[in-house]
Structure 1
């Protein structure tokens, strides 16, 4: 989901809700504590230089159980962040504290903002010599399937 898609989704909502990949909801009293521009400049294992830039949202919950973030308030936060984010329609990445800080993608199902699982991957598969049948293994394992488990 990009910034423009989030703004469009917020315009039609009465309440802002976020759902984790396992289906549980963030507590209704969550806060958006940061909105920032995060740039990553790196080299992959094949020697290719790459750059990625995302809009990063940090979600946090405290003991203020009466707190509710209204859609208009989140739109206002997005407007305030425009000078930091710049004119690009950046993809949104969400940070949320669990056992450690989790990083998620973001989607919208028409009612809820859905935090989506992110996975690592080899960006230089041709240079690493990884057989094609092993490339999907991490995603298969994430779905609850493991080698020797009879589901693959």
Structure 2
């Protein structure tokens, strides 16, 4: 989901509800504590220099059980964040505290904002020497990498 899609969803929403990948909802008293711009400049395992830029939202909950974030208030926060985010229609990444800080993608299903799982991946598959049939995430997790095995 990009910023423009979130603004459109909020403009028509009567409530702001976030749902985790397991189907549970964040408590209704959650806060949006940060909206930021995250620039990542890195080298992949094949030696290719890459850059990624996303809008990052941090969701948090406290003991103030009467707190509710109205869609109009969230839109106002998004408008304020344009000073930092600029006018680019960035993809949104969401952080939410679980056992550690979880990082999620975001979708809207017409009612809820759905936090979607994010996964690591090899961006230089041609340089890693991993056979194509092992690149599927579940297989890669069970196959594992060994020292000197040529994987990332």
Asked whether the two chains share a fold, i.e. TM above 0.5, the reply is: yes
Stretches of structure 2 lacking an aligned partner (at least 5 in a row): 144-152
Question: What TM-score, normalized to structure 2?
Answer: 0.91
Q: Deviations for 1:92-141, whole angstroms, at most 9, x for unmatched residues?
A: 00000000000000000000000000000000000000111110033886
Given the superposition, is the C-alpha separation of residues 87 and 139 from structure 1 closer, same or farther in structure 2, using an over 3 Å criterion? farther
| 2:8 aligned partner | 8
Given the superposition, is the C-alpha separation of residues 139 and 57 from structure 1 closer, same or farther in structure 2, using an over 3 Å criterion? farther
1:2-151 counterparts in 2 under 5 A? 2-138=2-138
**Alignment partner of 1:115: what SS?**
strand
Partner Cα distance (2:44, 2:93) in 1: 21
Partner Cα distance (1:7, 1:25) in 2: 20
Stretches of structure 1 lacking an aligned partner (at least 5 in a row): 148-152
CA RMSD of aligned residues (A): 1.4
Displacement over 4 Å in runs of 4+: none
Give the aligned length: 143
Partner Cα distance (1:139, 1:109) in 2: 29
Partner Cα distance (2:131, 2:140) in 1: 15
